[in-house]
Amino acid sequence: MDDVVLDHHRAARTGVPEVVLGEWKTAAQIAAALTGLVARADGAGALATRVAASVAAEVVAQVPGAEYLEVARIVRVAGTRVRAVAGKVAVVAAGTSDLPVVEEAVVTAEFIGVEVERVVDVGVAGVHRLLERIERIRTADAVIVVAGMEGALPSVVAGLIDRPLVAVPTSVGYGVGAGGLVALGTMLSSCAPGVSVVNIDNGFGAAVIAARFARELAAARAGQR
Amino acid sequence: MDDVVLDHHRAARTGVPEVVLGEWKTAAQIAAALTGLVARADGAGALATRVAASVAAEVVAQVPGAEYLEVARIVRVAGTRVRAVAGKVAVVAAGTSDLPVVEEAVVTAEFIGVEVERVVDVGVAGVHRLLERIERIRTADAVIVVAGMEGALPSVVAGLIDRPLVAVPTSVGYGVGAGGLVALGTMLSSCAPGVSVVNIDNGFGAAVIAARFARELAAARAGQR
Amino acid sequence: MDDVVLDHHRAARTGVPEVVLGEWKTAAQIAAALTGLVARADGAGALATRVAASVAAEVVAQVPGAEYLEVARIVRVAGTRVRAVAGKVAVVAAGTSDLPVVEEAVVTAEFIGVEVERVVDVGVAGVHRLLERIERIRTADAVIVVAGMEGALPSVVAGLIDRPLVAVPTSVGYGVGAGGLVALGTMLSSCAPGVSVVNIDNGFGAAVIAARFARELAAARAGQR
Amino acid sequence: MDDVVLDHHRAARTGVPEVVLGEWKTAAQIAAALTGLVARADGAGALATRVAASVAAEVVAQVPGAEYLEVARIVRVAGTRVRAVAGKVAVVAAGTSDLPVVEEAVVTAEFIGVEVERVVDVGVAGVHRLLERIERIRTADAVIVVAGMEGALPSVVAGLIDRPLVAVPTSVGYGVGAGGLVALGTMLSSCAPGVSVVNIDNGFGAAVIAARFARELAAARAGQR
Amino acid sequence: MDDVVLDHHRAARTGVPEVVLGEWKTAAQIAAALTGLVARADGAGALATRVAASVAAEVVAQVPGAEYLEVARIVRVAGTRVRAVAGKVAVVAAGTSDLPVVEEAVVTAEFIGVEVERVVDVGVAGVHRLLERIERIRTADAVIVVAGMEGALPSVVAGLIDRPLVAVPTSVGYGVGAGGLVALGTMLSSCAPGVSVVNIDNGFGAAVIAARFARELAAARAGQR
Amino acid sequence: MDDVVLDHHRAARTGVPEVVLGEWKTAAQIAAALTGLVARADGAGALATRVAASVAAEVVAQVPGAEYLEVARIVRVAGTRVRAVAGKVAVVAAGTSDLPVVEEAVVTAEFIGVEVERVVDVGVAGVHRLLERIERIRTADAVIVVAGMEGALPSVVAGLIDRPLVAVPTSVGYGVGAGGLVALGTMLSSCAPGVSVVNIDNGFGAAVIAARFARELAAARAGQR
Amino acid sequence: MDDVVLDHHRAARTGVPEVVLGEWKTAAQIAAALTGLVARADGAGALATRVAASVAAEVVAQVPGAEYLEVARIVRVAGTRVRAVAGKVAVVAAGTSDLPVVEEAVVTAEFIGVEVERVVDVGVAGVHRLLERIERIRTADAVIVVAGMEGALPSVVAGLIDRPLVAVPTSVGYGVGAGGLVALGTMLSSCAPGVSVVNIDNGFGAAVIAARFARELAAARAGQR
Amino acid sequence: MDDVVLDHHRAARTGVPEVVLGEWKTAAQIAAALTGLVARADGAGALATRVAASVAAEVVAQVPGAEYLEVARIVRVAGTRVRAVAGKVAVVAAGTSDLPVVEEAVVTAEFIGVEVERVVDVGVAGVHRLLERIERIRTADAVIVVAGMEGALPSVVAGLIDRPLVAVPTSVGYGVGAGGLVALGTMLSSCAPGVSVVNIDNGFGAAVIAARFARELAAARAGQR
């Protein structure tokens, strides 16, 4: 069975510790899972995502060192081992409605160990604001674009950059847009090449993809790969 | 029953003669309908939309003065009475794939009697091309934006103009975008206020809305209303 | 970047100040947005739509001059600058179930500065009531028709008038009609030309489209355009 | 097992002989089924519905007395026993596109033995034409309303009559209306009480329901029940 | 406008007084509507359907003579004029889960003025129970079959009777059956001719259709038509 | 890696040789796959399912010993090793429209090595025919029920037997039933316990499940397990 | 009617006592149903599934001997007659989120009378854990695989065993996976032959199928069949 | 407008020349587009994807140097400038049915300038074949996994590697899996972090994402970034 074991050197370098999906779990189950991860993770700390505020209070009470990041809906146990930040990810969104998903991505990316640049006041209906901020976005190694409603922002951004772009549809919308299926469809149908997509509200998954790439690229630039 | 009769003076001014929906009709049925319209329309001519090429040949053979506009899929019988053009409509699209719907809108709008400006090489993934042409679009009284795939173009255009904008999703797309439901959903969910939407591939309907408005405005400017 | 700036003279004339979409925002976020709009809007006031009653109380407490219009679910800060009303919009619906969307449209249209005529007791299953009121509807420059359940009212009204008609499906319905997708589909599939459609429950969007048109027409009639 | 046998006296009175659903069957299978029905049906004849023209030619060649009704897509073997017509059914539709379903209903109803009144030039976008014909519709014992596109006609008709009304959505439509799901949803969501619905394009089923009712009522009026 | 007025003699005979759809209305709105109906209905009383228990208490307190039928979710104001019962309707269902819809149909049918026979312990997975009760069902003039989950009961019943059958899908179900769309689809796709369908949970509509027919038939038998 | 290898003794006893899914493959690809299976299968022969007639002719020409079973749409290469038949499977359906799926199941089950009993003239709308044949169905070790349209037959059969029952929805249906999703939903929502379901038109999969069980049971009865 | 009665000897041997579906029933209705089953079941006890905790408390208070199994959401009344356990079923799942469905299956299977092996820590994204446990799974006569999210586990397990496998999708998932339709679709589309599927969250149904099979096989091995 | 121009040095390094989407275009339109790209692309050549064989013949005849790659459905004009290959992409799939999408990805990736490793005989129902090939997959800088039917392969692969993984659902499937929506849903719902997804059958898009990454990483390793 040796051949199915992950090679640990590369894993350590790209750095995605296991994370607990908190939804559909009781506080006791989440607390036990976090405690287990902290115990075995060799100082890396642990995260639980999609934790409701009412559940989080109980989890935080049970797990030493845990804190609840309310907007991101994440319970975080900071690691004891300081990890060098490497690479940079931009997280782009139109505004306040999508902040929970933006923050889930930001917290996850920082946990993995990259620098994060937030650009959260650009929308397709006011394209000049995007154009004014495009150079800041271009400084990143990888870009996450979060959008609800019609979900058109990733297409416009992708036409202005050449960085890997991960699009995250959110469940923000009403009528036909309720639940995020319209935003998801828009992103999958994008005319702009180079756009990959994750599930609705999956800021965590987008951060894993973007941060992995950014760290790998940083390592290669540093001659470590 | 007098109260249900349309007031003819206003109808004459806004000018939308009845049009034949050719799909699901035989060539004989379409020809009969066109002949009937020509007979009663007092020189206004007649249109049949959504006519397949194979059916159109038979229709054209049966109706004097009929011609087939292949890209638009319209059989047109030109009117004998010349109508003054008034008002201007811009028809905006990303490229060649959406041309059949663009042309259905253009032919319909010209039939109603407005000037038409085509801007058909702008897409959301290359927003600078749109910015370069935005002044041309702004010269119109009303704007039709046609888009398939992710259908994001109307949102971006609406953020740059203050004209009434009618969005037309097209059935151009594949995978989740097949059939045009994604483009339709995007347009209905648009963050930009002022976007109204018609059915998938309904270039005819969009032209009626935009051309009516443009003519009405022109009439008001001319002091006729 | 000058070419992407909106021409302010035309914007001032059509008059659609920015509006806050209140859903998915906290009371603090809404209050901050309203305060910002009031500060920069040069006396035009501000609106926040889709605000739940429980959130609205907190917003009203934080924003001087704010009031909550419960049926319309709108928080409104009246402008200090009086704007001349120009043009007229009719808002047509079948009855009490659709009132929240009717009122969202009415409040928005009046905020933009048009006269509003409510006709809210007509339904397709009692067409004679509609026929009795059709002349009142015909006095408007543009017509908004709001309907839930089967959503057939816009088709019937469109066959009786030649005014621009914006159809608003509502989420009122049960079984297959739950959520408003049936009403939306009906309106998009309308046999009557000249019907444009906005998202489910989007009374705000319909009001922007109709009021813009009415004001523009009024301006043209007054020789201001 | 006697209790599961249908009582034959009542069956004979309401009169719905078994009918072959021709789709998904080979010509040989349809021909065999029709021949079997003719043999056992005691002079009642037989029908096969939803038969494509190419298949029908072969069926007609194999079954003595069979004829193909092309618009209705029905193969009919006339009965040898003349059955008294009793009761009356109106079949209402907007126009030529829905004729195949109208004719399927008409042929089936006449086969069962009722008088049929066609009213096929009324649509919701021209409600005055419907009002002019409403008295003719009211002479029927039961009414079938056939409609594609937005499917709103049954709601309007139901508000004007007190007869049992069976609504038949058709697959005529494009964009969101393609396949008939919008028309079906509209009919099921009708605000007008007394509307029952059958499957898309199921003119046969509607005719069975309406004709059964009309014959039963006629029998009761004649004192036969 | 005389021609759009319902003929009152026939309306009086079939007897479907207007009914209030209580959902999406406030208690005050329902109470006002009921009071209005009672005032003008010439002793016929009034019903409001789909009224939640919490709303109903307030309605009952405001409307003299009103009572709340909890299972049926109906507020009823009994009429002062006694109306002769005529005709008979059977309401068939599998069990307790579908009782709310069964009772909505029963209360409505009795309000219209027919005798009602409940047969509520038969299911497709125990067909012998249905066979044992089929003669009771056959005594009715029209049959309503209510079913959730897979919705197969109407097909089986329709194969055993020759009465008009109205099928009512219910929202009882989970997984793919949640909301009632599966039961609705089953009923619309029924192999058994003579099955007509109403919207999910629409016991009221089914009762109107069945009771109208039963009363009309009874009137014809009594020589009144 | 030894632990991931199937235990061959048990595999030989339950007996499901690999089978080629012919759809989306060229004739050359199917022929190559069949030839490969014949070569390695130790006399067991081979099957390719879902092969269109036009493709099959080419396959049969290329593979020695291959024959095309047209109704079942299967290319079969008979094995050279005779395998003892053990256990019995009943395949139940309503009629001729579902025969292609019935035959796919029958051919597959016989290929695996069980006796097959066809009962293909029973439907839910004529439940007495089913009752007359139920004893024949009960002689089987496992039962496959194939149904299109409303898909209710498995529920009724499951209430009458205690054998394992595999339900196969077919794509036979029109309107809401088109494609088989209604039949699938009905089967998954069945009130009768003990019904398991396979994909639409998957007669092959149902046969594998039923035949495996029947052979295993026969082996146990024979003391071989 | 004798022929529609189940043969009791076989029923006793396979052993699936009737079970109450608790959802959509009041506590009083559930208590009455359980009491009835206990009275007639000759010592077999009774189960009610899908009972919410708030309802269960009331049921347990009313039914002597009843207990609530919270994770499984089942109210159980243990039988007075001890039944011999025969056959073995494995219940396989990825983790804690799917436990409610796992436990519904386990409690039901044990109630029917089989040995149950839980393997609840294997997922497709860590296939080595599954490989390490595959021999334990292979000791069962039938296997139930429970999975939410992408629902891929049954396909992988089916490729490693030759036992009958019943797949249960769960409603655990978010975004496109919300409600369980994705997991259901994955299981129905499985490339691995021999996978049958039940409704979303239907652990009860899967247990009936698997336990029936296991007991039947055990009986055959014991020479009882 | 300078700020919206792409920085050409970086574009040249990552290397994704514009590509023509051939579907919905005439042969003349495709030929014109390819000719235009060849003219301006400075020796890079050009591709047109999703070109049907019948259309391709005409395109190849019109464009010098064009060839048609039939399985990939791509018309390719080789560049005159040789570009150094840098980085490596693995394309993983289960078998022959998905080859068209595999080849679209392979041809595109090679056109961009990376080494490609095909691993096209691994499926989730035979996980040992995947385990045997996992080391070959691990040699790539980025991995594309193509899968139809249940679409589970990306989840299993992602659990075994730490490379960026782009999942491509294909339209290969039948019943619920027809069109590829099930495979798409599975991939978006994947439990394995690090999986990003593109539209159904979009091998081109996946190749752009993966090849960009691989080239960028190679450039960084070579000290060019």
Within 8 A of C221 by CB-CB distance, chain B residues are 220, 225
CA C66 to chain centre: 19
- Predicted local distance difference test score (pLDDT) of residue F15: 52
Using an 8 Å CB-CB cutoff, list chain G residues near A181: 176
How far does chain D reach from its first CA to its final CA, in angstroms?
27
What residues in E contact F191, CB-CB < 8 Å?
94, 123-125, 149-150
% of chain H beyond a pLDDT of 70: 91
| Touch E-F: 3+ C-beta pairs under 8 A | yes
Q: Which residue of A has its CA nearest to G177?
A: A199
**Which residues lie closer than 8 Å to G35 by C-beta, 6 or more apart?**
G62, G63
Cα-based torsion angle of the residue sequence C20, C24, C29, C30 in order, rounded to the nearest 10 degrees: 40
Total CB pairs under 8 A between chain F and H: 37
Query: What residues contact residue F25 under an 8 Å CB cut-off, 6+ apart?
Result: F33, H96, H97
Q: Which residue has the higher pLDDT, B10 or A157?
A: A157
pLDDT tens per residue, range B101-116 = 999 999 999 999 999 9
Does the pLDDT of residue F6 top 60, yes or no? no
Quote the pLDDT of residue D7: 35
G82 contacts: CB under 8 Å, gap ≥ 6: none
| pLDDT above 90 for F225 | no
pLDDT digits (tens, 9 = 90+) for C19-62: 899 999 999 999 999 999 888 767 888 999 999 999 999 999 99
pLDDT of amino acid C95? 81
- Interval B185-200 mean pLDDT: 94
Place of tokens 């009769």: B5
Q: For residues B109 and B178, is the Cβ–Cβ distance under 8 A?
A: no
Tokens of F87: 């256990």
Tell me the mean pLDDT in the region A201-211: 96
pLDDT at A8: 37
For chains A and C, having 3+ Cβ pairs within 8 Å is answered: yes
Which residues make Cβ contacts (< 8 Å) with residue D212, sequence separation at least 6? D14, D15, D16, D112, E162, E164, E194
| List of chain E residues with pLDDT < 50 | 1-14
Close Cβ partners of E61 (under 8 Å, ≥ 6 residues apart): none
Whether the model clears a pTM of 0.80, i.e. scores above it, the answer is yes
Give me the mean pLDDT over the C128-151 stretch.
95
Mutate to test the interface with D, among F129, F160, F176, F201 (most CBs of D within 10 A): F176
Please tell me the predicted confidence (pLDDT) of residue C121. 87
H helix runs in C113-189, sequence order? 127-138, 153-158, 181-188
Q: What is the rounded average pLDDT of the residues H175-188?
A: 96
Structure token digits, residue E218 = 């009874």
The pLDDT value given to residue D16: 66
pLDDT surpassing 50 at residue C10: no
- pLDDT score of A116 more than 50: yes
Q: Which of E199, E201, E208 to mutate against chain C (most C CBs within 10 Å)?
A: E199
What gap in Å lies between CA B128 and CA H3, rounded to an integer? 10
**Least trusted range by pLDDT, from B189-198, C9-18, E197-206:** C9-18
Q: Is G199 on the interface with E (CB under 8 A)?
A: yes
* Residue H37 or residue E15, greater confidence: H37
By three-state DSSP, how is residue D117 classified?
strand
Check E185 against F150: CB less than 8 A apart. yes
By Cβ distance, the residue of D197, D212, D225 closest to E197 is D197
Distances (CA, A) of E225 to E17, E215, E216: 20, 11, 8
Provide the CA F73 distance to its chain's centre, in angstroms: 12
> Could you tell me if A97 lies within 8 Å of chain C, comparing CB atoms?
yes
- Does F183 reach chain E within 8 Å, measured CB to CB? yes
CB contacts of A97 in chain C (<8 Å) are 21, 23-25
What are the pLDDT digits (tens) for G171-217? 999 999 999 999 999 999 998 888 999 999 999 999 999 999 999 99
Q: What is the pLDDT of chain C when averaged over all its residues?
A: 89
Mean pLDDT of chain H: 89
Beta-strand (E) ranges in chain F?
20-21, 46-49, 66-69, 74-77, 88-93, 115-119, 142-147, 165-169, 195-197
Contact B50 D132 (CB under 8 A): no
Put simply, whether C189 touches B (Cβ < 8 Å) is: yes
Please name the residue that has the structure tokens 């207990």.
G67
- Do chain C and chain G touch with ≥3 beta carbon pairs under 8 Å? no
Q: How far is D221 from chain F (nearest CA, A)?
A: 30
Q: Is the CB of residue G25 less than 8 Å from the CB of residue F153?
A: no
pLDDT of residue G142: 96
- Mean pLDDT (chain F) is 89
B114 inside 8 A of chain C by CB: no
Contact G201 E174 (CB under 8 A): yes
Query: Which residues of chain C have a CB within 8 Å of the CB of D94?
Result: 191
Rounded to whole angstroms, the Cα distance separating H101 from H109 reads: 12
Residue A171, chain G, CB below 8 Å: the answer is yes
CB A177 to CB B159 under 8 A?
A: no
Q: What is the pLDDT at residue H135?
A: 95
H68-124 per-position pLDDT tens digit: 999 999 999 988 876 788 999 999 998 889 999 999 999 999 999 999 999 998 988
| CB-based contact, C73 to chain A, within 8 Å | no
- Identify any residues that bridge with F204 across adjacent strands, giving them in sequence order: none
CB D191 within 8 A of CB C94: yes
Neighbours of chain C (3+ CB pairs under 8 A): A, B, D, E
Task: State whether residue E161 sits within 8 Å of chain F by CB.
Answer: no
pLDDT, mean over chain B:
89
Give the whole-number percent of chain F exceeding pLDDT 70.
Answer: 91
| Burial label, B25 (beta-carbon count in 10 A; 0-12, 13-18, 19+) | buried
Chains that touch D (3 or more CB pairs under 8 A): B, C, E, F
Residue C65 in contact with residue C26, Cβ under 8 Å?
Answer: no
- Per DSSP, the residues of C166-177 read EEEE-S---GGG
Identify which has the larger pLDDT, C165 or C224: C165
Q: Is C196 helix (H, G, I), strand (E, B) or coil?
A: strand
Distance, in Å, from the CA atom of F199 to the CA atom of F187, rounded to the nearest integer, reads: 11
Grade residue F2 by pLDDT with cuts at 50, 70 and 90.
Answer: very low
Q: What is the pLDDT of residue C39?
A: 86
Q: Which of D11, D135, D199 sits opposite E188 (nearest CB)?
A: D199
Confidence of residue F223 (pLDDT cuts 50, 70, 90): confident
Q: Distance between alpha carbon E27 and the CA centroid of its chain, in Å?
A: 23
Distance CA G116, CA G97 (A): 20
| C-interface mutation test, from A70, A71, A73, A97, most C Cβ less than 10 A away | A97
- Model confidence over A27-51: pLDDT tens digits? 999 999 999 988 876 788 899 999 9
**Residue C94 contacts D, CB cutoff 8 Å:** yes
| Beta bridge pairs of residue F142 | F89
pLDDT single digits (tens) C53-84: 999 999 999 999 999 999 999 999 988 876 78
Q: Does E26 touch chain G (CB under 8 A)?
A: no
Average pLDDT of chain D is 89
Contacts of B204 in chain C (CB under 8 A): 193
- Among C30, C24, C111, which residue's Cα sits nearest to residue C63? C30
Note whether F123 contacts E: Cβ–Cβ < 8 A: yes
Cβ of residue G205 closer than 8 Å to a chain F Cβ: yes
- Given CB atoms, is C71 within the 8 Å cutoff of chain E? no
How large is the ipTM?
A: 0.91
The reported pLDDT for the residue numbered A15 is: 52
Pairs across E and G, CB distance < 8 A: 36
What pLDDT sits at residue C84?
83
Which residues have a Cβ under 8 Å from the Cβ of C40 and sit 6 or more positions away?
none
Question: Which candidate in B98, B121, B124 is best for mutational testing of the A interface (most A CBs within 10 A)?
Answer: B124
Chains C and F touch, contact meaning at least 3 pairs of CB atoms under 8 angstroms apart: no
Which residues of chain C neighbour D160 with C-beta distances below 8 Å? 127
Question: Of the candidates F128, F174, F176, which has its C-beta nearest D1's C-beta?
Answer: F128
Each residue's pLDDT tens digit, B115-159 = 999 999 898 888 889 999 999 999 999 999 999 999 999 999 999
Residues of A in contact with H194 (CB under 8 A): 16, 205, 208-209, 212
Phi and psi torsions of C114, nearest 5°: -125, 160
pLDDT grade for C3, boundaries at 50, 70 and 90: very low
What pLDDT does B161 receive? Answer: 92
Q: Which chains touch A (3 or more CB pairs under 8 A)?
A: B, C, G, H
Inter-residue long-range contacts of C6-12, CB under 8 Å, 24+ positions, other chains counted: C6/B160, C6/B161, C6/B162, C7/B138, C7/B162, C10/B162, C11/B162
- Residue F221: which residues within 8 A CB-CB, separation 6 or more? G220, G225
- Cα F59 to Cα A84, F28, F32, G215: the distances in Å are 61, 7, 9, 44
Chain G contact present for F201, CB below 8 A: no
What mean pLDDT do residues F43-58 have?
Answer: 94
Across E148-187, b (16+ Cβ under 10 Å) vs e yields bbbbbbbbbbbbbbbbbbbbbbbbbbbbbbbbbbbbbbbb
Do the Cβ atoms of D202 and F131 come within 8 Å? no
Residue B189, φ and ψ in degrees, nearest 5: -90, 5
Which CA distances in Å does F79 have to C52, E90, F29, F111? 71, 59, 20, 9
Q: How far apart are the first and last CA of chain H?
A: 27
Q: What is the pLDDT of residues C178-203, one digit of tens each?
A: 999 999 999 999 988 889 999 999 99
Q: Does A24 touch chain G (CB under 8 A)?
A: yes
The amino acid present at G52, given as its one-letter code, is A
Cα–Cα distance between G191 and H170 in angstroms, integer? Answer: 14
Dihedral angle of Cα E6, E7, E10, E11, to the nearest 10 degrees? 30
Asked if pLDDT for residue B77 goes beyond 50, the answer is yes
* CB E37 within 8 Å of CB E17: yes
Q: Which H or E element spans position A155? A: helix A153-158
- F168-176 average pLDDT score: 96
G169 contacts G184 by C-beta, under 8 angstroms = yes
pLDDT in tens, A78-108: 888 767 889 999 999 988 899 999 999 999 9
Rounded to an integer, the average pLDDT of H30-57 is 91
Q: Identify the burial level of H132 via C-beta atoms within 10 angstroms of its C-beta, where 0-12 means exposed, 13-18 middle and 19 or more buried.
A: middle
- Low-confidence residues of chain D: pLDDT under 70: 1-17, 41, 82, 225
Please name which of B148, B203, B206 lies closest in space to residue B175, comparing C-alpha atoms.
B148
Task: For residues G31-57, give the mean pLDDT.
Answer: 90
